[in-house]
Amino acid sequence: MNPRENQLVSPTEVWNSCLDFIKQNVRPLTFKTWFEPIKPLSLEKNVLTVQVPSSFFYEWIEERYLPYIQSALARFIGPGAKLSYSIVAPESTQGQQLELTHSGKNVIVSEATPSDVLSPEKTHNVNISIRSGTLAPVNNGNSFPVQANLNSRYTFDNFIRGDGNQFARAAALNVANNPSTTAFNPLVIYGGVGLGKTHLIQAIGNFALENKTAGRVAYVSSERFTIEFVEAIEKNKTADFSNYYRSMDILIVDDIQFFSGKERTQDNFFHTFNTLHQLKKQIVLSSDRPPKEISGLDERLLSRFQWGLTVDIQPPDLETRIAILQRRAQDDNIEIPLETIEYIATNVKSNIRELEGCYITLVARHTFEGCPLNISTAEHVLQKVINMVKKPVTVGQIQTIVAEHFSISEDLLRAKTRKQEIVHARQVAMYLAKKHTDSSLKTIGLYFGGRDHSTVIHAVQAIEHDLAQNPALFNRIKQIEKKLLYLST
CA gap 372, 38 in Å, rounded = 23
What is the model's pLDDT at position 111? 34
CA gap 206, 31 in Å, rounded = 34
User: Residues 6 or more apart from 96 whose CB is under 8 A from it?
Assistant: none
HSE (CB half, 13 Å, CA atoms) of 383? 5
What is the model's pLDDT at position 134? 29
Which among 394, 395, 425 is positioned nearest to 412, based on CA atoms? 425
CA distances from 179 to 40, 221, 441, 442 (A): 47, 20, 36, 39
Contact call for residues 147 and 126 (beta carbons, < 8 A): no
Q: How does DSSP classify residue 315?
A: P
CA gap 377, 392 in Å, rounded = 25
Domain architecture of the chain: domains with CATH: 11-127 (3.30.300.180), 137-313 (3.40.50.300), 318-390 (1.10.8.60), 395-487 (1.10.1750.10)
Is the backbone of residue 256 left (phi > 0), alpha (psi -120 to 50) or beta? alpha
What is the model's pLDDT at position 270? 93
Map residue 326 onto helix, strand or coil: helix
What is the model's pLDDT at position 390? 47
CA gap 59, 63 in Å, rounded = 6
Q: Which residues of the chain have pLDDT under 70?
A: 1-8, 54-56, 88-148, 384-391, 485-489
